[in-house]
């Protein structure tokens, strides 16, 4: 299943057998949300695992001054709020619907019973969350050690690789607003435009409204390798 932005990991539904997947969907509570609707608020207490059945969810932190800290845009098959079940922690993100979506909610009681009947869900969640930790560590290293232009190139490269799926196309178009990328990187739009222009001048990307086209995925990957200051342990996934 295809993720949205800044998420290259398997979702829990991807790692389940078909029988377990259908049983899980039948066991949970299905809820539809309209585009832009707020799903949850950071800091609230609600022990529920949430799985995306259709559409995309914007995982973000809404600040008091009206600004926004974007973490990722999750897609079908992926899940969130595991920490509310397993760490008894508060909800870590505000979540908003991107387009019309359908979510599956599993309360603590429902999850506990389901995991007894289908223990493979424990392994599925473990795989998904370990992959997320791995992704987060690499991203943290990038942000701390690399120039912003290389961080941006790595983000675009990984998203493009995920989007092209089984295709061997060397040109990939990413449908993402530049303001979302700026929020994620924690930079201003003018600064983002500056480094976008640098990548564009190198012939690696082409910009248009709400889209970034990777002109040559192989060339972008080679350019990144030349500018990394450490060995990328996620390289085997993106080559």
pLDDT value of residue 237: 66
**Tokens coding 54:** 């259709």
Per-residue pLDDT at 2: 43
Q: Pairing relation of β-strands 38-40 and 94-107?
A: antiparallel
pLDDT in tens, 154-210: 999 998 888 887 777 889 888 888 888 998 888 899 999 999 999 999 999 998 878
Res. 6: pLDDT tops 80: no
The pLDDT of residue 1: 39
d(CA 48, CA 211): 34
146-227, which class in CATH? mainly alpha
Determine the pLDDT at residue 124. Answer: 95
Q: Domain coordinates of the chain in residue numbers?
A: 12-134, 146-227
Using CA atoms, how far apart are residues 174 and 160, in angstroms rounded to an integer? 6
CB 37 within 8 A of CB 50: no
Does 146-227 match 12-134 at the fold level? no
Mean pLDDT of 66-79: 90
> Which residues have CB under 8 Å from 181's CB, separation 6+?
152, 155, 192
Is the domain spanning 12-134 CATH 3.40.50.720? The answer is: no
Burial letters for 18-53: b for 16+ Cβ neighbours within 10 Å, e otherwise?
eebbebbeebbeeeebeeeeebbeeeeeebbbbbbb
Strands (E), the chain: 29-33, 38-40, 48-62, 68-74, 79-80, 94-107, 172-175, 205-208, 211-214
């Amino acid at each position: 299943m295809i993720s949205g932005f800044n998420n290259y990991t398997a979702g829990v539904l991807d790692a389940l057998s078909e029988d377990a997947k259908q049983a899980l969907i039948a066991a949970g509570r299905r809820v539809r949300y309209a585009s832009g609707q707020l799903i949850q608020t950071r800091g609230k207490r609600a022990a529920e695992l949430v799985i995306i059945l259709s559409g995309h969810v914007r995982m973000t932190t809404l600040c008091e001054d009206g600004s926004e800290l974007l973490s990722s845009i999750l897609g079908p098959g992926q899940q969130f709020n595991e920490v509310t079940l397993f760490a008894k922690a508060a909800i870590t993100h505000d979540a908003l619907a991107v387009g019309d979506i359908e979510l599956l909610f599993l309360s603590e009681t429902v999850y506990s019973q389901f995991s007894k009947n289908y223990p493979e869900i424990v392994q599925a969640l473990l795989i998904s969350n370990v992959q997320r930790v791995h992704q987060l560590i690499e991203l943290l290293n990038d942000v701390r050690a690399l120039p912003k232009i290389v961080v941006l190139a790595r983000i675009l490269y990984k998203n493009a690789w995920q989007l092209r799926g089984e295709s061997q196309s060397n040109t990939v178009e990413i449908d993402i607003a530049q303001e979302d990328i700026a929020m994620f990187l924690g930079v201003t739009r003018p600064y983002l435009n500056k480094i976008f222009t640098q990548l564009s001048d190198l012939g690696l990307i082409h910009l248009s409204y709400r889209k970034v086209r990777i002109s040559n995925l192989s060339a972008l990957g080679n350019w990144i390798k030349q500018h990394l200051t450490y060995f990328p342990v996620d390289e085997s996934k993106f080559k």
